Structure 1
């Protein structure tokens, strides 16, 4: 018995394997979705949940969109918690802003591996991590959760959705339900079953969350329509939701107002092309609903993050106009001899192409340097000012007639007024008016282009004021024709 360790040490040695097993199990559980939670504790039985992950060129846009949408739930007096399922690489300052300023509960998770990634091609690769939506089933602190995408606009309170069953979704497509909004009952057993389906490779029609969930609930189309019980009780089973809970924004533009007779007109979604989300500044007046989204952002968040960039751009354009007007450069005049016998047809063609490229650049560059999520009025104002500043550079660099260069600028201003005209009866009349304006504007744009090319040709054929660089100066005799 002399070399035998004390009883306390023997007990510690016996307990160590159990503690190690518990630690490994806890770590595995966290990797499988039992991650840490930041923000206030659960205060309601129900929650609206959204998702955010990193790795796309539009991460900041979705960050702003999530904040605006979650705050809009407060505006419609939603009686539920607001939860964000965020991947672990979401910036810490974003998480802090959403928890402290917006009052969200942020659940930090590890990205779920997408076994269907090879099925995603091109632009659809941005959906690689949308399977993180499955973490909504781990929110077991709540009886019901409404999972929503960040490109939704809430028109009125939708808390009656918490009375729906274990899974409910809207069919905006005749054959497949839409996962931009769905109701679920959290369950770790369901979540583990879905993880197993990912491992065995359940059929997925699109490689993202929607195709996977359609495979999990293939018979939803045959289920009854959801109608909230008047006594407030919760239903069991799966149900189809009325279209009014996920109104495709494209339907709006037929009548330019909402009136869906089957169910409430509660939520608008934007599942269209990615360049026409409501938060882009160019979305209005091209898509009038964008102004509603920006009104919510203006009221709730403001535009402090974008203001330094906006002020810098305005200052830059002012400097460009001032320097251009003072310097008045004539690049083609300094670099080429205008005598026809010394002119090369290729050189003339290159100069004309340079004029066209410069014109395109003058109207394109301002579009791409403006922060995408600024207010439409601000964005269009800065775009027009920037296009005007760069057009002045083109006018003075190639000695072009100002009115011809600015014809495109005036046409864009006119198009904005036509699109923003508020008294169209329906979307068809609006589209016809836009096409009519474009048809009437085309001859003026073509005529301005022809006059600019004639102006360049005339400039190239004049007697020289300066020789071509590298050539000896020519003596110019006085002529009464000049």
Structure 2
């Protein structure tokens, strides 16, 4: 082997060794880089803020799913506002795992599973069963990983980021009632001593006027009305003691409905609350335009959670209603062949029964669609589906009993008109709006009554005429039938 060949061989060997070493170094660098990235990611996931927004979720009411949707919308709205705090859901052990998974993986919340606190006030005469598990809210004091916690109900609508609330003291709340503060939003400093003391008060049955969290917490902090108003320090420090929060942190929706605008001068207009009747919460599709603020909550849902979960049911119902309209129209000639016996001694009772059936079918046409529409769908979709469903079911009575369409649909037209009157955006205040609605109803009442009388009269004529239709199984019509028709 010559000198040049040996040189090439050594050069090839050195080049191969160099490549192996280079690949090994590259592998080590990538490995440690991935390991460091994984550790950083795990640290970021485990890292928590010093403060938290918390809400609770429990099962056992007819509105569990609606409050689950409301909770997700509220959490996502806080994420959208870029709040500097953790988002915590205090969930009872019976909350479905798929709900917990959605809250954690899709909404970014931290779910704390708890056992339901025993409510010793459930046998009180004035106790409302829907408040049986609201005492789970006391678990907020057990979140000792945080310096401050803002405890929230699911029916809060955020207009801006209220992170300055974390500067408040050991307990702060809003008085939307002149004498009793509201527990739909309050600030607290977690403490296991306070939590254990509260649980002890539950065990001994401390007086509670309503048997719910509102009465219990109000009784635990009875002197809050005499405390000073909270004003966040400009240097970002946290205050000590108890404070009243300005009304702008819990603006009762009732104030808006009076003037159709906000007029809350004390404090920033940060949070809207809906403490009214449970069946008029903002997430129900029928709450708007009855309560105008409902559309703002749905706008927030549209921007955060969306309506993908509700749309399949909406599409199915729409297809069914359109099919009913088409079938009843095509089958109209056969509907009129109701077979009655001309000489039956019970013909009067049969006619009465058919009258009742006809009136109940009209009544059902306006009631059934209301209950089958997904409760949390957007109001515009919900009311459109309701009008479509009531029209479709009304056509069954119209074609089956040969009733005049305009008279049967008088209520349908009245409902459509009152929706337009309520949704009109040019009212000066809520009083004028209410008077306009009452005036419209007063003007529509005579037309509705005339339509009802006309329906009954037409129904009587139809039933008397049907006495001359052939019986079931008869091959030829009775005598005189061809002369009359």
Q: Bin the TM-score by the shorter chain.
A: 0.7 to 0.9
Structure 2 CA distance, aligned partners of 1:121 and 1:332?
A: 54
Alpha-carbon distance in 1 for matches of 2:334, 2:435:
43
SS in 2 for 1:119: coil
Q: Which structure 1 segments of 5+ residues have no match? A: 1-38
Q: Given the two structures, how large is their TM-score scaled by the length of structure 2?
A: 0.87
Instruction: State the Cα distance separating 1:65 from its structure 2 match.
Output: 0.3
- 105-114 or 328-337, larger mean C-alpha shift: 328-337
2:308 aligned to which of 304, 308, 314: 304
* Partner of residue 116, structure 1: 121
Number of the residue aligned with 1:106? 111
- 1:403-422 Cα deviation digits (max 9, x unpaired): 11111111111111111111
Give the corresponding residue for 1:430. Answer: 433
1:361-376 matches, cutoff 5 A:
361-376=364-379
Q: Following superposition of structure 1 onto structure 2, how do residues 359-438 of structure 1 map, counting pairs within 5 Å? A: 359-438=362-441
Deviation, structure 1 residue 478: 6.8
**1:288-324 CA-partner distances (Å, limit 9, x unpaired):** 1111111111111111111221111112112212221
Distance 2:346 2:476 in 1: 16
Find 1:75's aligned residue among 62, 80, 98: 80
Cα distance, 1:195 vs structure 2? 1.0
The count of aligned residue pairs is: 442
Find the partner of 1:267 among 267, 271, 276. 271
1:227 partnered with 2:231: yes
Q: Distance in 2 between matches of 1:477 and 1:224?
A: 92
Partners of 2:141 and 2:191 within 8 A in 1 = yes
Partner of 2:96: 91
* Deviation, structure 1 residue 463: 6.7
The answer on whether the counterparts of 1:337 and 1:343 sit within 8 Å (CA) in structure 2 is no
Query: Computing the radius of gyration over CA atoms, which structure comes out larger, 1 or 2?
Result: 2
Shift of 1:458: 1.2
The match for 1:24 is none
Distance 1:471 1:256 in 2: 66
CA distance in 2, matches of 1:344, 1:115: 60
Distance in 2 of aligned mates of 1:151 and 1:480: 68
Displacement of 1:350 in angstroms is: 2.6
1:468 is displaced (CA, Å) by: 5.2
1:32-71 to 2 correspondences below 5 Å:
40-71=45-76
Structure 1 residue 349, shift from structure 2 partner: 3.0
User: Could you say what secondary structure the match of 1:117 adopts?
Assistant: coil
- SS in structure 1 at match of 2:444: helix
SS in 2 for 1:160: helix
Question: Is the 8 Å Cα contact of residues 470 and 476 (structure 2) preserved in structure 1?
Answer: yes
TM-score, normalised via structure 1 length: 0.87
Counterpart contact for 1:330–1:399, Cα < 8 Å: no
Instruction: Indicate the SS of the match to 2:338.
Output: helix
Cα distance, 1:453–1:443 mapped onto 2, change above 3 Å: same
